Amino acid sequence: MSLQQKVWFITGCSTGFGRQIAKQAIEAGYKVVVTARKIEQIQDIVSGNEENTLALTLDVTNDEQIKDAVEQTIRKFGRIDVLINNAGIGYFSSVEESVEEETRRMFEVNFWGLMHMTNAVLPHMRAQKSGHIINFSSIGGLTSFPTLGYYHATKYAVEGVSESLAKELTPFNIAVTLIEPSGFRTDWGGRSSVKTDTQIPELQQSVVGQMLKGVQQSNGQESGDPVKAADAVIKVVEASKPPLRLLLGKAAYQAATHKFTSLLADIEDWKEVTINADFE
Q: Please name which of 41, 36, 133 lies closest in space to residue 84, comparing C-alpha atoms.
A: 133
**Mean pLDDT value of segment 49-53:** 94
How many helices (DSSP H) and strands (DSSP E) are in the chain? 11, 9
Of the candidates 30, 91, 150, 151, the residue annotated as catalytic is: 151
> What is the model's pLDDT at position 3?
60
CA atoms within 13 A on the CB side of 171: 1
Q: What is the mean pLDDT of the chain?
A: 92
> What is the model's pLDDT at position 195?
81
Give the C-alpha separation, 39 to 45, whole Å: 11
All structural domains of the chain: 3-254 (3.40.50.720)
Q: Is the pLDDT of residue 189 over 60?
A: no
DSSP 277: T
Of the candidates 14, 137, 182, 193, the residue annotated as catalytic is: 137
Q: Is the pLDDT of residue 1 over 70?
A: no
> What is the model's pLDDT at position 242?
98
Task: Tell me, yes or no, if the pTM score tops 0.85.
Answer: yes
| Dihedral sign, Cα of residue 165, residue 169, residue 170, residue 174 | negative
Kindly report which listed range (89-98, 159-168, 213-222) carries the lowest average pLDDT score. Answer: 213-222
- Whether 155 sits among the annotated catalytic residues: the reply is yes
Share of the chain above pLDDT 90, in %: 81
**Mean pLDDT value of segment 109-130:** 98
